[in-house]
Chains A and B, each alone.
Chain A
Amino acid sequence: MTIIEPSGNGHEAPRPDGPHAPPPEHTLDEPPLLQLKGIRAAYGPIEVLHGVDLVVPEGSVVALLGPNGAGKSTILKVCSGLLQPSAGEVHLAGRIVNGASADQLARLGVCTIPEGRGIFPNLTVRENLWMATMAGVPLDHVEEVAYARFPRLGERRKQLAGTMSGGEQQMLAMSRALAVNPALLLLDELSMGLAPLVVANLYEIVAQVSEEGVSILVSEQFARTVLGIAQYAAIVLHGNVTREGTPEELEDELSAAYLGS
């Protein structure tokens, strides 16, 4: 095994000025913020990803679409460092980060909201926000951002997070993403078990975050909603990325293979 030096000089992770990212055919000095090359990953003996290639350009929103069990969550786990790939490379701003642990990546500016609720149910709202400070932002700032965006959380800072409604829990999870000002945001099924209106609200926030220049990789069942804010989409089938492109380019495949409409 050798460490392959990535191309580019890469000690910077420049953010583009505008919300719209450069095309995937990036130049050598500007590597994509996140790139997966030939990623294979397995749970025990069962291989779930069979060589995934994926690019998240700077400042763009990329949607992962695909049926249940296709491997979307697994791709996100690999990106966040929770699951080590058995082969392939994860490039973050041009650097190989295979083997970095999830907490190292988190402190490097990768923020992940995992499937289900990304909260600690037995901690209060405020204590949950406190945990977000481990990525290196002060608690005051986190609380300010969270309560300004979601006043409901401010009213319930002493409540146990597990006793709040699903939508409120997801707000709490989102406020971490807002507060820590990440370079890369990984979102897994924000919509799970939520009413469509709440989902739409959440994705409005995601769109705003993206406009601040944060690169976002999001897995979602509500394809219509997420395609409204995504610049690119990738279709995941049976542990492979079968197609990548803009939502317009993928329209046909999406209708046929995924949306069934």
Chain B
Amino acid sequence: MQTFLQYTILGLVVGGVYFIAASGLVVTYTTSGIFNFAQGAIAMLAAFTYWQVRWGWGWPAPLALLLVLGVLAPLLGAVLYQVIMKNLRGTSEVTKIIVPVGVMLGFLSLATWIWNPTPRTPRLFYKFFGANATVKIFDVRLTWHEIIAFFLAIVIAGGIAFLFRRTRSGVAMRAVVDDPDLLQLNGGRPERLATLSWAGGAFLAALAGILITPIQGTAMSANALTLLVIDAFAAAMFGRLKSLPRTFVGAIVLGLATNYVIAYFPANKWTWTGAFRSSIPMILLFVVLLVLPQDRLRGATVLRTRERFRMPSLRTAWIAGLVLVVVVWALRTIMATTAINTLAYGITLSIIALSLVLLTGYAGEINLAALSFGAIGTIIVFHYGISGTGNDARMTLWGILLAAVVCAVVGALVALPALRLRGLYLALATMAFGVFVSRMVLTEIGERELFGIKFSIFQGGSLTIPRPEIGPFDFKSNDSFLMLATVVFALMAVGLVSLRHSNYGRRLAAMKDSPAACATLGMSVVRLKLSVFMMSAAIAGVGGVLMSAQLGSVNLDRFDIFLSLVILLLTVVGGIGYASGALFSGVLFGCSILAIQNTLTKLGSDYKSLEAVFGFLVSAVSVMPATIGVTMGKNPSGAITDIVESLEGIKKSKPLMLTMIGLQVLIWALAWQGVINNWHFVIFTAANLLIVPPLGGAVLKNMALKKAGVEPPVPPELIGIDRPFTDDDRLAIEHALGLDAVPLPVSAPVHHQEEAAHAPA
């Protein structure tokens, strides 16, 4: 009884904090239609800031609270909305999910950057009034901190209810959901309300972060703190992101469930109790998503989104694939071993990213846990796909195929119940799956016995995976493995393009646009969704297997949910509709960022006096993926679209293309022969790619125009100098600046009108 009471009360407290975090999600989603994945990261950032102010600088608690909760957190929320989230109107659901994810990742790297995760003295976060300020309630000893947390939850529940029912701004926030245009016609300002709600949401996140950190009692870790608040997603979903009372119930159930597991599961007999406890929120999230009736997601009503992808022809795909293989082959000849390994790692990540191109780019479904399928594939290969031992150990082709099949089956198991989910709900379901795999499957490092069979899933916490041998080909050497990964990527990419051009691909595209319309046309949306999810999971599995083989040995950190998110983010940035977007993602994440960081670190050790500067730059680069991610709202079609468009000119002009290829071959030959070193190779290549096309393009154009007897056009900056400025030029400039489309702001006289219009009233 004593235990029951104690854990019930503790469960209520934790549930209360979950509610505070979840209510913030509800508030922001209600007014802006954006699910704030960064909620956990905001909580984490606030906890760290509070620690800094309170114990780092030794401010008194009330002042520190005032600064963090009263000023910084709401400010952060408002700025987030104004600078980033506002631009998401009219974008697809993928973008609406990926941008907040980018913000979350950005905050994570920011926190690790500012607050070194492994400080010499552990960072201690105390409860309000200290851990010894306790009272006894029903014979249960409670700290004041816990009591405060619970009552704050109730106060906030009441406060938000009051706001939404009894204040005009609160009612207007609900009105925005119904019809933002109508609210504007009433004279309301939807933008301002959304900013306000984001400020409120960030405040609630910060409060939750500060309350829960000492209750959990662990050393402060950015990732763990972020995930802690992500656990509250289940509660928010229970309220379907709308109903606060239900969210409250969900949060309390969540808090109680996790605490009862600690209380009643024998921890020493069942070694998985701890893992199970931490998985409960995700299991509940999955169940809640499946069981609750679907609510109409607002994003789904956007008919025409700003994203657009043009499919390359199959011929272009073959050529591109071939070029990729040749380029990697040529690069390989001049690269050091470490560079070859890094590149191979990047390309295996690109294969995983390809699974997202198929799933998200073609079919419009979302998977936030691609690497978890990679983990499953790796486990299968480890157990069933290795022949030989020690140095002779090789991965078998059958092992790889088996991994693909098992991943497809697991993909089906995840997708089958989630089939009626779409967009955000499906994304959250896959995230729950991913966190579940990380917390429960990959922590299964010991030996277990089931029906007399002894097995251990993730043996010893680190799996050694050898390189494959396929038929007569042995891919043990770094060179050959790089080529294998490249060829696999190229073939899969071409396969995807041809799939997209097939009847099946067209049905996928139709489903992406409107599942409802597809169903009424008699297409089996269920089969389509299931098959595409299975295929995608299989690709991710193969990619994961190859990644593990490249790395040699892998632990659970390699399959972290945050890494999955980075890959998705970068693929969207690259252009989720293209295989090249996947290549961009894998290579940028697996190679470029690492390469830049390594270079900077090396420079730092070479020039000791500048070490701090280079150290700063290393950290700055780690924030890079997130930074590019959050720009997605402005350019939702991805970087590849821009690059392809800029390459159009080269494709049209044969001489230019030949010049560039010739130059590049020359540069490569020089490097191969050791005439120039690799640094020069990189610099010359960059010059060839960046400077030659515009230069050559301009020369060629002028030549062509001269031949046709037309004066070459005067560049805009010389108009007025080389020839007089005309009205046409002015119009052209206005058009280029978009001035003719942008309405002028209201001119001053309107304010006179205001008095006039109201005067007779």
Identify the A interface with B (CB < 8 A): 1, 3, 6, 10-13, 15, 44, 80-82, 84-86, 92-93, 95-104, 106-109, 111-112, 114, 118-123, 127, 130-137, 176, 181, 183, 213
Contacts and interface: CB of A to CB of B under 8 A. Distances in A.
A100 B178 contact: no
A242 B183 CA distance: 33
Contacts of B172: 131, 134
A133 B186 CA distance: 8
A86 B739 CA distance: 10
Given A10-B749, A12-B759, 4 more contacts: A93-B753, A99-B744, A103-B185, A131-B168
Given A97-B750, A98-B743, A122-B177, A135 B171 contact: no
Interface string B88-107: 00000000000000000000
A118 B734 CA distance: 38
A114 B186 CA distance: 11
Contacts of A84: 743
Given A118-B182, A120-B182, A136 B758 contact: yes
Interface in B165-184: 168, 171-172, 174-175, 177-179, 181-184
Contacts of A118: 182, 185
A80 B181 CA distance: 10
A99 B746 contact: yes
Contacts of A98: 743-744
B174 A123 contact: yes
Interface in B727-761: 734, 739-741, 743-747, 749-750, 752-761
B746 A104 contact: yes
B761 A181 contact: yes
Contacts of A123: 171, 174-175, 178
Nearest to B755: A11
A132 B172 CA distance: 10
Query: Does more than half of chain A's interface fall in helix, strand or loop, or is it mixed?
Result: loop
B246 interface: no
Contacts of A120: 174-175, 178-179, 182-183
Contacts of B178: 120-123
A101 B184 CA distance: 8
A93 B757 contact: yes
Nearest to B761: A181
A244 B191 CA distance: 38
B187 interface: yes
27 contacts: A1-B744, A3-B747, A6-B749, A10-B752, A11-B755, A13-B759, A15-B760, A82-B185, A93-B753, A95-B749, A96-B749, A97-B746, A99-B746, A102-B184, A108-B750, A109-B761, A111-B185, A114-B181, A114-B182, A119-B182, A120-B183, A123-B174, A123-B175, A127-B171, A131-B171, A136-B187, A136-B758
B169 to A, nearest CB: 10
Contact of A3 (B182, B734, B744, B760): B744
User: Which of B181, B739, B740, B755 gathers most chain A CB within 10 Å?
Assistant: B181
A136 B758 CA distance: 9
Contacts of B758: 109, 136
B174 A122 contact: yes
B189 interface: yes
Interface of B: 168, 171-172, 174-175, 177-179, 181-189, 304, 734, 739-741, 743-747, 749-750, 752-761
A128 to B, nearest CB: 8
Most chain B CB within 10 A, of A82, A96, A97, A103, is at A103
Nearest to B753: A95
Nearest to A126: B171
A13 B753 contact: yes
Given A13-B753, A93-B756, A132 B186 contact: yes
Contact of A106 (B186, B753, B760): B186
A122 B179 CA distance: 10
Nearest to A132: B186
A196 to B, nearest CB: 26
Contact of B185 (A15, A96, A106): A106
Given A84-B743, A122-B177, A130-B168, A11 B186 contact: no
A114 B752 CA distance: 27
B734 A1 contact: yes
A99 B745 contact: yes
A181 B185 CA distance: 14
A195 to B, nearest CB: 24
Contacts of B747: 3, 95-96
B721 to A, nearest CB: 25
A96 B757 CA distance: 14
Contacts of A85: 743
A216 B183 CA distance: 20
Instruction: Give the one of B187, B734, B752 with max A CB within 10 A.
Output: B187
Contact of A133 (B168, B743, B744, B753): B168
Given A121-B178, A131-B175, A99 B743 contact: yes
A82 B181 contact: yes
Nearest to A99: B743
A96 B304 CA distance: 31
Contacts of B183: 103, 120, 131
A176 B186 contact: yes
Contacts of A93: 753, 756-757
A135 B757 CA distance: 12
A121 B747 CA distance: 35
A185 to B, nearest CB: 12
B171 A11 contact: no
Contacts of A112: 185
B746 A100 contact: yes
A108 to B, nearest CB: 5
B309 to A, nearest CB: 18
Nearest to A84: B743
B379 to A, nearest CB: 48
Contacts of A13: 753, 756-757, 759-760
Contact of B186 (A86, A101, A109, A131): A131
A82 B750 contact: no
Nearest to A107: B187
A111 B177 CA distance: 21
A78 to B, nearest CB: 11
Contacts of B186: 103, 106, 131-132, 134-135, 176
A119 B749 CA distance: 32
A114 B181 CA distance: 9
Contacts of A104: 746, 750
Contacts of B750: 92, 95, 97, 100, 104, 108
A86 B741 contact: yes
Nearest to A2: B744
Contacts of B174: 120, 122-123, 127
Contacts of B760: 13, 15, 183, 213
Contacts of B752: 10-11, 95
A135 B753 contact: no
* Pairs A-B, 6 closest by C-beta atoms: A99-B743, A109-B757, A106-B187, A134-B187, A102-B184, A11-B752
Nearest to B740: A1
A44 B761 CA distance: 38
A121 B754 CA distance: 30
B637 to A, nearest CB: 16
Contacts of A106: 184-187
A108 B744 contact: no
Contact of A12 (B171, B181, B739, B756): B756
A136 B759 CA distance: 12
B474 to A, nearest CB: 57
A105 to B, nearest CB: 9
Nearest to A9: B752
B144 to A, nearest CB: 39
A223 to B, nearest CB: 25
Contacts of A96: 747, 749
Given A1-B744, A131-B171, A103 B755 contact: no
Contacts of A130: 168, 171
